[in-house]
Amino acid sequence: MTSQLTTYVTLICTSGVLNLYLFLYVFLKRHHYSKIAVLFMLYTASISIYCFAAAMGLLAANLGQMKFWTTVQYIGMPVSSPLGLLFIMYYLGIQVTCKRAAALLLIPLISFIMVATNDWHHLHYRSFEIDAALGIPFIYQEIGPWYAVHGIFTFACMFAAFSLLVFRWRETAKTYRLQLVALAFGQLIPMSSSFLYLVGVAPPGIDPVPMVLWISSVLYLWAINSSRLFTIMPIAKDVIFNSINDGVMVLDESNRLIEFNQACRHNWPKLNKTMYGTDFELLWVELTGSPFPLKLETDAKTQELKLPQSEQVFQVRNSPLEQSGNKKGQLLIFTDITELKKLQEKLEQQAYTDELTQIYNRRAFLQQCELEFKAAKENSMPFSVILMDIDHFKRVNDTYGHAIGDQLLMHVVRVCQAQLTEGQIFARYGGEEFVLALKAYSRKEAEALAHRLRKGIESQPFFMGKEAISVTLSLGVAEMPNEPEGKLFQLLNQADQALYMAKEEGRNRVMVYTAKQQLQS
């Protein structure tokens, strides 16, 4: 064996030993790593097979042994480049389905079969012989059509892996960039050697790739030991940061955009990487067409934001980013609560709105009226209520049915609402009874409004097809007494007494509760 050949074998075996060491090292510590370690083990195992078989091929004594070890090389060599690509994709957080991964390994499988059966079809090697000038173990070969397919595929996998790493450089935090450098050179070195071999620049009869793979192995070993490859990786950013359903924007200490996730891009389709470095206030105007309505707090705070010209509502959480007590930026987290707000509004409407007439129900009226009642007492303002009842409503239900009775109730509400102004609390008090709270209305003003309501209802019968159903109201009016101990329920009770008297006096009339406990029409 010449010294040159000894050097070749030594370099190849060094590559094989280092990759075997990497495989065993990661295998023994696999429980401390993520699933990416499995891909890395398969990758290094395939390279080890390739390297050791290449070394044994250089030690072969005849053509038969050389063919055998070449076939063994093709157990590991064709799959190493797609496994390396899958490893890099997983590292960068690029999702690959099992079917696509299997499809990526289809060509390497065919290549192995082609080499193993080459003497029958010569589609991989047209000619595979001992080099006439150099002798054993140097090979003279003429490539076949499948060799070209295999070579292009292998080079494409390594180039794709290298390109993915380069393209992620800008997005990767400085802490992890040394990992990217190590992995990128780990792909670049065999890719360059493979290219030189394919174009015929490498030493004749020798595949130079396994001789340089030890350099890639050293880089991988350094990345594992010094920069915590497999335990802390940029993949954490992609898998966690980009899989968060909430939109996240990262701003620097000058409130300029430095990062955003996919959910943010979904919320604001105009957002793109060219906007990195843009002041957030200007960015927000560009994205939404209006200024950011909230204050960018220096302390952690949660605020609510409704987008202009949109139904979308977000909960915005501001979280300052600090290092050693110094502000380094802040995190804005946008949680879409649109559906939650709609549900909340719907529940509130169901809780406080009468389902049939869509005005306040008794519960909502009492809550709102209590606040207005207290405010009127504190400010010494007049306050009145009107209780009203549809005359002979039961007769309508009995004669025409409850469906017509419901329509009649809605008719009364529409006619009354046409007479009311904003700030007057109008509610269905129960059955066919309604109530109206009037802030800043004296007894006489409330009485005048009650008469207008009565006349409005009387003059506008309810039509059921061509048949007109006459509708009248009985109304009771009461004004808040000028007494500190007066309560809302007392005022409502007084209005109820007035309403009772209106019915007793013949209906379709207004009765007022007087301060002397007497009633007047």
Quickly state the pLDDT bin for 452 (edges 50, 70, 90). Answer: very high
3-state secondary structure 83-138: HHHHHHHHHCCCCCCHHHHHHHCHHHHHHHHHHHCHHHHCCCEEEEEECCCCCCCC
Between residues 390 and 173, the one the model is more confident about? 390
- Give the span between the Cα atoms of 48 and 217, in whole angstroms: 11
- Give the span between the Cα atoms of 336 and 290, in whole angstroms: 19
Three-state SS at 202:
coil
Whole-number pLDDT of residue 227: 58
Q: Cα torsion at 505, 506, 512, 513 (round to 10°)?
A: 40
Q: Is the peptide bond before 137 cis (omega within 30 degrees of 0)?
A: yes
Whole-number pLDDT of residue 225: 74
Whole-number pLDDT of residue 232: 47
Whole-number pLDDT of residue 14: 93
Least confident of 21-30, 382-391, 409-418: 21-30
Neighbour tally for 252: CB within 10 Å: 16
* Mean pLDDT, rounded, for 327-334: 81
Whether residue 89 has pLDDT greater than 60: yes
Three-state SS at 306:
strand
| Catalytic annotation present for 259 | no
Calculate the average pLDDT of the chain: 86
Whole-number pLDDT of residue 323: 58
- Give the span between the Cα atoms of 32 and 53, in whole angstroms: 31
Helix H segments across 199-332? 209-226, 235-236, 262-267, 280-288
* Mean pLDDT, rounded, for 265-287: 87
Whole-number pLDDT of residue 205: 66
Q: Cα torsion at 281, 286, 290, 294 (round to 10°)?
A: -30
Whole-number pLDDT of residue 42: 93
List the domain boundaries for the chain. Answer: 3-236, 244-338, 353-520
Q: Which range in 23-27, 331-335, 439-443 is most confidently predicted, on average pLDDT? A: 439-443
Token pair of 313 as six digits: 């509502």
- Give the span between the Cα atoms of 321 and 316, in whole angstroms: 16
- Domain 353-520 CATH (choose: 3.30.565.10, 1.10.510.10, 3.90.170.10, 3.30.70.270): 3.30.70.270
Whole-number pLDDT of residue 346: 79
Whole-number pLDDT of residue 519: 47
- Give the span between the Cα atoms of 445 and 448, in whole angstroms: 5
Beta strands 326-336 and 313-323 are: antiparallel
User: E-assigned strands of 171-325?
Assistant: 247-252, 257-260, 301-306, 313-323
Q: What is the CA radius of gyration of the chain?
A: 42
Q: How does pLDDT run across 120-169, given as a tens digit for each residue?
A: 999 999 998 888 777 888 888 888 999 999 989 999 999 999 999 888 87
CA distances from 187 to 157, 158, 168, 190, 521 (A): 9, 6, 15, 6, 99
Whole-number pLDDT of residue 299: 63
- Give the span between the Cα atoms of 505 and 521, in whole angstroms: 9
Q: pLDDT exceeding 90 applies to what percent of the chain?
A: 43
Sequence-distant (≥ 6) Cβ neighbours of residue 458 within 8 angstroms: 470, 471, 472, 473, 508
Whole-number pLDDT of residue 521: 46
- In this structure, is the dihedral angle defined by the CA atoms of residues 511, 515, 517 and 520, taken in order, positive or negative? negative
- Give the span between the Cα atoms of 190 and 187, in whole angstroms: 6
Q: How many residues does the chain have?
A: 521
Whole-number pLDDT of residue 47: 93
- Give the span between the Cα atoms of 124 and 133, in whole angstroms: 23
Among 259, 372, 432, 447, the active-site one is: 432
Third-level CATH fold of 3-236? Rhopdopsin 7-helix transmembrane proteins (1.20.1070)
Between residues 298 and 157, the one the model is more confident about? 157
Token pair of 194 as six digits: 């493979």
Whole-number pLDDT of residue 170: 74
* Mean pLDDT, rounded, for 70-88: 93
Q: pLDDT exceeding 70 applies to what percent of the chain?
A: 89
Whether residue 434 has pLDDT greater than 90: yes
Third-level CATH fold of 244-338? Beta-Lactamase (3.30.450)
Of 153, 183, 151, nearest to 165 (Cα)? 183
Whole-number pLDDT of residue 422: 85
Q: Using a cut of 0.75, tell me whether the model's pTM lies above it.
A: no
CA distances from 281 to 227, 268, 270, 276, 325 (A): 37, 15, 15, 13, 25
Beta strands 510-513 and 473-479 are: parallel
Q: What is the DSSP string of 64-76?
A: HHHHHHHHHHHHH
- Give the span between the Cα atoms of 27 and 50, in whole angstroms: 19
